[in-house]
């Protein structure tokens, strides 16, 4: 397990671990990545512990959740089967599991990028 952790974090700056366990039930964020089922998970407003990944997308084409692919990304294994999931997200999923956690929040996948509520999410980013 230690070797797996070292392999994942090599080349990345280790984050400060902050406990973001919700103190009260809240609806944000409504979409998380279930790292064990390797799919998007909608929690219907139930507060859950999660790890958040913040990174710069850069100028490369990256997989983003859209209205068109949202249902597909909710299928078990969908994130492990796709070749267009960025390595940083795959590594974060593995690292989340190594931490003993299940859920991960990544803006590119956990916000429907062409959705009606995009502006609302941008104003709530401090809650992530």
Q: Could you read off the pLDDT of 14-56 as tens digits, one per residue?
A: 555 445 455 554 455 688 999 999 999 987 567 778 898 888 7
In the predicted model, is pLDDT for residue 105 greater than 80? yes
pLDDT higher for 55 or 87? 87
CA dist 108 and 102 (Å) reads: 18
| Residue 128 burial class via C-beta count within 10 angstroms: exposed 0-12, middle 13-18, buried 19 and up | middle
Number of other residues whose CB lies within 10 A of the CB of residue 81: 11
Q: Structure pTM?
A: 0.72
Q: pLDDT exceeding 90 applies to what percent of the chain?
A: 43
């Amino acid at each position: 397990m230690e070797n797996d952790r070292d392999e994942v974090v090599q080349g990345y700056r280790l984050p400060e671990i902050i406990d973001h366990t919700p103190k009260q039930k809240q609806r944000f964020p409504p979409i998380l990545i279930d790292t064990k089922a390797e799919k998007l998970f909608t929690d219907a407003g139930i507060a859950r512990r999660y790890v958040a990944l913040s990174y710069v997308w850069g100028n490369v084409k990256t997989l983003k959740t859209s209205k068109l692919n949202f249902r597909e990304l909710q299928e078990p294994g969908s994130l492990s089967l796709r070749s267009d999931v960025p390595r940083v997200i795959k590594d974060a999923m593995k690292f989340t599991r190594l931490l003993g956690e299940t859920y991960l929040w990544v803006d590119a996948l956990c916000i429907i990028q062409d959705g009606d509520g995009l502006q609302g999410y941008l104003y709530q980013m401090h809650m992530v």
